[in-house]
Structure 1
Amino acid sequence: MRVVICGAGQVGTTIARHLATEGINVTVIDIDQEQVRRVDESYDVRGLVGHASHPATLQEAGARDADMLIAVTHSDEVNMVACQVAYSLFNVKRRIARLRHAGYLAQDKSGLYAAEHLPIDIIISPEIEIADSIARRLRTPGAFDRVPMAGGLVELLGIHSGADCAVVGRRFVEIAEDDDEARMAVLAVMRDGRCFIPDADDQLAAGDDIYVLARSEQVDAVVRAFGHRKQTARKVVIVGGGNVGLHLARKILREFSGIDVKLIERDQQRAGEAAREFGDAAIVLNGDALDRELLAEAQTGSADTIVAVTNDDEANIFVSVLAKQAGCKRAITLVNKSNYESLIPTLGIDAVVSPSAVTISTVLRHVRHGTIFALYTLREDFGEVVEAEIGEGSRLLRRPLDQLGLPAGMKIGAVVRDGVAIMPDETTKLEVGDHVVALVTYSYLRFAEALLGTRRRPFG
């Protein structure tokens, strides 16, 4: 398989690294010579300096033999033209573009991306993906992350264990199987900056962030098992009236009931436009969210959740800390720079959203094809939660799970058979056509594909 990636920023570079580890032939294009040099020297990929939308550059990158083009430069227009050139001149079968400007994403513009116009197969909008991700978190305040898998039959939950968590000190196998109404599979633990797949006899420690799989109807019970009460947010303050903030406010007003929404936007024109759009449905405040008087006017101290989604990482972090100090129950913070990751847990911020991680996970979901149906990235350096169909050639068929000899970097958390979600135990046997939801670390992805009997089907 051959892939051309346009853009050697954080997103393009990370996608290239993931694909290269799977033996995929990758070429990365960027106009920044230093960016290209770094990706060329750091990973088993080919770097090419040039304009990603220029036909000559794409030809030199091998577009004529490419199966896919992924356009994730900082320019929407370059991404669109690159897809057009890849289709019209080189017949690249699959074209993915990141588009950020709201004007390109409106419903009445959807016909623009047909093959006879602008041939883009998959449009990735980070702002919409981020807003959707935050909205899922608002539905389950006890979870810092929530991702539906297997058509919504099971859900991946990120849960924090505080010092007062009732199950701290217990073995993970006991936590997972203790209550039939709250069955779960513990897939990963994040502890002291390290991420690992726990053994059954490992114990939950105070301060752990864990990822578990649970049946969708048992999500609330699972969250309660860790001492988190289901308390849907009723007062939400959104800081930042850009694309993410507006998408989120619209989604809350459209899909949630009985929620008091306040939006703080520094730019006067943007604030005015938002106020006219939302009318009486939301309160829009114009000013600097770092102004304590404005935060008091927004009543952040009595808010259930503050969501900081400006374009300034530092502002997002500081306003989240100020709101928590004032009494806000929960802070969800947008952070672009990965070097802040180690700082965040010390500040009392409850959930962090990374635009690059959201985009990477979404792009990889569309790169994985054949019998891999869904994917969620757990940290850029750890692994993926995948949903895959068991094929005829799988070596995992018809033997109990405890006899499969799964590698250390793979854990099966759920099985879906005939539309029913099963939380497996050591006696569960897999059948052809089963969908499994599993965590696989990056070093074992190719091995896991072989075990599952998955196959890559050609694009087109």
Structure 2
Amino acid sequence: MKVIICGAGQVGSNIARQLAQEKNDVTIIDMSPELARKIGDELDVRSMVGHASHPAVLEEAGADDADMLIAVTYSDEVNMVACQVAHSIFNIPKKIARIRAQDYIRPQWAQLFARENMPIDAIISPEMEVARAIERRLKVPGAFDTVSFADGKVQVIGVRLDENCPIIHTPLEQLTELFPGLNVTVLAIYRDGRMRVPEREDQMFPGDDVYFAADANHVERVMPLFGHEEEEARSIVIIGGGNIGLHLAQLIEKKMRNVSVKLIDSNRARAERITDDLERTVVLHGSALDPDLLQEANAARAETIVALTNDDQVNILASLLAKGQGTRKAITLINNPVFGNLVTSLGVDVVVDPRATTVSEILRHIRRGRIRGLHSFRDGAAEVVEGVALETSPLVGKPLRDLKLPPGIIIGAVIHDGEVILPRGDSVIEPNDRVIILGLQDVIQKMESMFSVGLEFF
């Protein structure tokens, strides 16, 4: 596949890295000579300096025979015009754009991106995606990551194990016998900086980050078996009233009706403006690094603080100050990945990486075949995909024990006629079943081919 990526920032460079590792033909364009040179030196991609929406630049990048254009520059307008030029002049089949300004994507302007106007096949709104990701985490206390699949019927959850976990040091093959109600599939274990798909005889240890798939209706019963019995927050303090903070507060008001929310923003005009957009949320103006203001927000009695400003250092310090006052849990937005590995040792419970959330959403639109959902973990170390099994799929018609899946691929759940089935050896996937499957980085293309038409896999 031949792909042009406009923008070599964190999102663009990570998409380029993933696609290059999968042997795609990637060209990346950026206005910054330094960024273009850096990514060209690090990755097996072609890098160019130029204005990504200029026809001459896109022509030089190979737009005449490109399969896809992904526009993720920092300018919404450049992204939109790049897609328009890609369509009108070069007839590139698929165009994806990151759009930050919410005014462009309001429902009443939906026709703006219709094929006859400004044809963009997929629009990614990072702020809305991040707010949704945080709201999902709030509903599963104790998880550092949670993703919904199959219209919310299945959840893939990441948890860190400690000495209190009752299933540590137990071979996975014995879990069903010891805990008959444990209706989950352990998909992957992250240990010592390495992601792996476990074998039946493998054990889990304290300090492991474990990813599992579960029927969404059983999550509350499953979490204690992984050592997590935290209660859902009833009082939340949000730091930062930007688009992410505002969207999150609105989601909580809509979906978590019994939760009390206070929001702190340092910009008085912004604080006053968003008050009109919220119904139950109490909006406070001031610095989140002011202990007196945190006391006024009643941080000491809040179960969770969510720090969402544009400043990583403010987010980290505000989280630690609130926890020092008594807040039980801190969810902290970190833009610089260097900080992400450090802050958990300081007391931050959950790190939110907006780049990773955006990359996952873009990858969902890139993957071929009948892909319905996708999430990337640990900078692409593994992907979980929800796909529709076609009659031609090698997954269909055989007991799972006879499939002989390649190492690094595991089936987490099957949805048949709306019912969630946690796979066992004698389970059989039928045509049009929806399948939740995890694959490690080096077998992602093989996993993708399982949901494609007419491709030989085995």
TM-score of the superposed pair, with normalisation by structure 2: 0.94
**Partner residue of 1:414?**
413
Q: Name the count of aligned residue pairs.
A: 455
**Partner residue of 1:373?**
372
Are positions 1:27 and 2:23 aligned together?
no
Measured against aligned partners, the alpha-carbon deviations of 1:334-382 in whole angstroms (never above 9, x if no partner) come to: 1111112321221222211101000000000011132222211011140
Alignment of 1:299-448 (within 5 A): 299-448=298-447
Q: 1:447 to 1:55 in 2, by over 3 A?
A: same
Alignment of 1:44-59 (within 5 A): 44-59=44-59
**Partner residue of 1:207?**
207
Q: CA deviation at 1:205?
A: 1.6
Measured against aligned partners, the alpha-carbon deviations of 1:221-248 in whole angstroms (never above 9, x if no partner) come to: 1112223236221101000011100111
Q: 1:140 to 1:177 in 2, by over 3 A?
A: farther
**Partner residue of 2:184?**
184
Are positions 1:275 and 2:275 aligned together?
yes
Q: 1:453 to 1:276 in 2, by over 3 A?
A: closer
Give the residue type in structure 2 aligned to 1:218. H
Q: Confirm or deny: 8 A CA contact 2:237 2:302 kept in the other structure.
A: yes
User: For 2:17, what is the secondary structure of its paired residue?
Assistant: helix
Alignment of 1:84-163 (within 5 A): 84-163=84-163
**Partner residue of 2:291?**
292
Q: CA deviation at 1:441?
A: 1.0
Q: CA deviation at 1:309?
A: 0.4
Q: Distance in 2 between matches of 1:204 and 1:234?
A: 32
**Partner residue of 1:79?**
79
Q: Confirm or deny: 8 A CA contact 1:260 1:282 kept in the other structure.
A: yes
Q: CA deviation at 1:24?
A: 2.3
Q: Confirm or deny: 8 A CA contact 1:5 1:72 kept in the other structure.
A: yes
Please give the root-mean-square deviation of Cα atoms over the aligned residues, in Å: 2.0
Q: How many percent identity over aligned positions? A: 46
User: For 1:311, what is the secondary structure of its paired residue?
Assistant: coil
Give the residue type in structure 2 aligned to 1:105. I
Q: Confirm or deny: 8 A CA contact 1:181 1:218 kept in the other structure.
A: no
User: For 1:364, what is the secondary structure of its paired residue?
Assistant: helix
Alignment of 1:441-456 (within 5 A): 441-450=440-449, 452=450, 454-455=452-453
Q: Distance in 1 between matches of 2:253 and 2:432?
A: 40
Give the residue type in structure 2 aligned to 1:390. A
Measured against aligned partners, the alpha-carbon deviations of 1:396-438 in whole angstroms (never above 9, x if no partner) come to: 4444333433222111111222332211122323334333211
Q: Distance in 2 between matches of 1:29 and 1:177?
A: 55
User: For 1:277, what is the secondary structure of its paired residue?
Assistant: coil
Are positions 1:165 and 2:202 aligned together?
no
Q: Distance in 1 between matches of 2:131 and 2:448?
A: 32
TM-score of the superposed pair, with normalisation by structure 1: 0.93
Which segment is superposed worse, 386-395 or 180-189? 386-395
**Partner residue of 1:193?**
193
Measured against aligned partners, the alpha-carbon deviations of 1:261-313 in whole angstroms (never above 9, x if no partner) come to: 1001011111121234336x221111111111111111111101100000011
User: For 1:170, what is the secondary structure of its paired residue?
Assistant: coil
Q: CA deviation at 1:316?
A: 0.8
Q: Could you tell me which runs of 5 or more consecutive residues in structure 1 were left unpaired when the two chains were aligned.
A: none
Q: Distance in 1 between matches of 2:155 and 2:177?
A: 17
Q: Confirm or deny: 8 A CA contact 1:182 1:219 kept in the other structure.
A: no
Q: Could you tell me which runs of 5 or more consecutive residues in structure 2 were left unpaired when the two chains were aligned.
A: none
